[in-house]
Amino acid sequence: MSKAHDMTTESAVLRGGIATAVGSWPGADAREAAATIVGELGDLPHLVELPGRGTGSDLIGRASALLVDLRFDISTRGYRLAPRPSATSRRAHDLLRTDLDALEEAWETAGLIGSGRPVKVQSAGPLTLAAQVELANGHRLLTDPGAVRDLAESLAEGLERHAAEVARRLGTAVLVQVDEPSLSAVLAGSLTGASILNTVRALPEPEALHLLDTVVAAQTRPVLVHTCADRPALGFLRDSAAAAVGFDLATVGTGDLDGIGELLDNGKFVALGLIPATAPARPPTWREVAEPGVRLIDRLGFPRRLLAERVLITPACGLAGASLTWARRTLALAADVARAYTEEAESLTFDRLGPSGM
């Protein structure tokens, strides 16, 4: 893929001042979920994940439907590699087909086929899959370097095929999101082994980066790497091939500010998780949601126009644990903040002090 093609594709699908969601959604009705997302997220809808349907529909299980020549089965502790197609992998494939059909139907109903409005797809990344999926012997896949390499290569090919199918079905550009909630744990070596006597070594950053970039670089579309981990590994993600990095802003402290600045200095887009994934005791106004992002940019010394140029607004994480009412509200809040960042960022003022640490 030429650089010119890459820049053209990126500008068509990835831009600042827009709202999107992370991936998961409450409930089990694929048609209702797709219609809601297409209707509410005008700038960047996404193919939803519905973990409420059970095995094969969550972040890890969905990956079984994307991998090439690898598949998962279920064990007493979670997912594990399977030597042959299993009921679990077949269910994951069936659920993905259902979700794709529902999205295409919603897209067509809204008159968006061939409109060029971009859409986002998500998958667990290679590091999270290696951390959460077991080998046949019960150990984490992460403990076998050869298996991890095969997994990354399989995911790279499968995710590219998946994005191409979505692009073909909807007649539009696609943003690929790679979810790495286990990234910080993989780098820190804080994962437990198969028993209390087993440990899982910290994966050196160069090895981890190679695995992540195996997947990212294989995509012919721009990639957003998202992590919901506490203290996201911003320095690591800065060095990745991803065009954008997403994280929960509430997990970021003063010591992480330089890392965010470096992401922006390196030309990456940033997806700020600004809205709680579950309903707080007192629902915030859009101004309260918008404030941390504005204060962040001010503190980093960037011009506020960057909010409209290279910042996307999202919930803090997936919304599977939220009520349907709050999930819908998060989309409206995200859209309101995106509009404010685009139209009036320079004039936004706040009376109270910013959040602790920011």
Residue closest to 271 by CA, chosen among 58, 120, 48, 132:
120
Tens of pLDDT along 115-149? 889 999 999 999 999 999 999 999 999 999 999 99
Higher pLDDT, 186 or 13: 186
Tell me: pLDDT of 345 over 50: yes
CA neighbor of 259 nearest in space, from 249, 290, 10: 249
Q: Is 210 helix (H, G, I), strand (E, B) or coil?
A: helix
Domain range list for the chain = 3-347
pLDDT digits over 94-121, tens only? 999 999 999 999 999 999 988 889 999 9
pLDDT at 183 over 50: yes
Mean pLDDT across the chain: 93
Mean pLDDT, residues 314-338: 97
Q: Look at residue 326 in the predicted model and tell me its pLDDT.
A: 98
User: In b/e form, how buried is each residue of 192-219, taking b as 16+ CB within 10 angstroms?
Assistant: eeeeeeeebeebeeebbbebbbbbbebb
Predicted confidence at residue 2, as pLDDT, reads 37
Q: How does residue 351 score in pLDDT terms, banded at 50, 70 and 90?
A: confident
For residue range 59-81, what is the model confidence (pLDDT) as tens digits? 999 999 999 999 999 988 899 99
Q: Looking at residues 295-312, what average pLDDT do you find?
A: 97
Q: Is 60 exceeded by the pLDDT of residue 176? A: yes
Please report which confidence band the pLDDT of residue 12 belongs to, taking 50, 70 and 90 as the band edges.
confident
Q: What is the pLDDT of residue 107?
A: 97
Over residues 193-206, mean pLDDT: 84
Average pLDDT of span 306-317: 97
Distance of CA 44 to the CA centre of its chain: 13
107-115 — which CB contacts under 8 Å span 24+ positions?
Answer: 107/38, 107/169, 107/170, 109/35, 110/38, 110/39, 112/38, 112/170, 112/172, 113/170, 113/171, 114/171, 114/172, 115/171, 115/172
Confidence of residue 283 (pLDDT cuts 50, 70, 90): very high
* Residue 86: burial class (beta carbons within 10 Å; 0-12, 13-18, 19+): middle
CA pair distance 297, 311, nearest whole angstrom: 10
Question: Which fold would CATH assign to domain 3-347?
Answer: TIM Barrel (3.20.20)
Which pLDDT tens digit goes with each residue over 218-263? 999 999 999 998 889 999 999 999 999 999 999 999 999 999 999 9
The whole-number pLDDT of residue 115 equals 86
pLDDT for the residue numbered 92? 97
